[in-house]
Amino acid sequence: MTAQIAAYGRLVETDKERHHITMRRLECCRKAQRPPEPPDNYGDLKKAVDRTYAEMGMDGAGDEIWRNYQDR
């Protein structure tokens, strides 16, 4: 007795058809997966912030404000 698999609205009976359906299902599952999320790259963020500060004429201004903490 051969196992029958329903596919495309009809039953398949041969090994070749079963293999085709299995490969098609695996391909669909693979395509449905989300790609891995890229890691955070803070170096690129710092470059973008520095470039924006330079365009606004604020480059170097943050050094005096944020780097000289007063001890309490």
Within-domain flag for 69: no
Within-domain flag for 68: no
Within-domain flag for 72: no
Q: What are the tens digits of pLDDT across the range 23-62?
A: 999 999 999 988 888 888 888 888 998 898 889 888 776 6
If pLDDT is split at 50, 70 and 90, which confidence band does 65 have?
A: low
Within-domain flag for 31: yes
Find the domain containing 19 and state its range: 1-57
**Residue 61 token pair:** 């201004």
Within-domain flag for 32: yes
Into how many domains does the chain fold? 1
Within-domain flag for 66: no
Within-domain flag for 24: yes
What is the reported pTM? 0.40
Q: What are the tens digits of pLDDT across the range 7-19?
A: 566 788 899 999 9
Within-domain flag for 40: yes
- 5: helix, strand or coil: strand
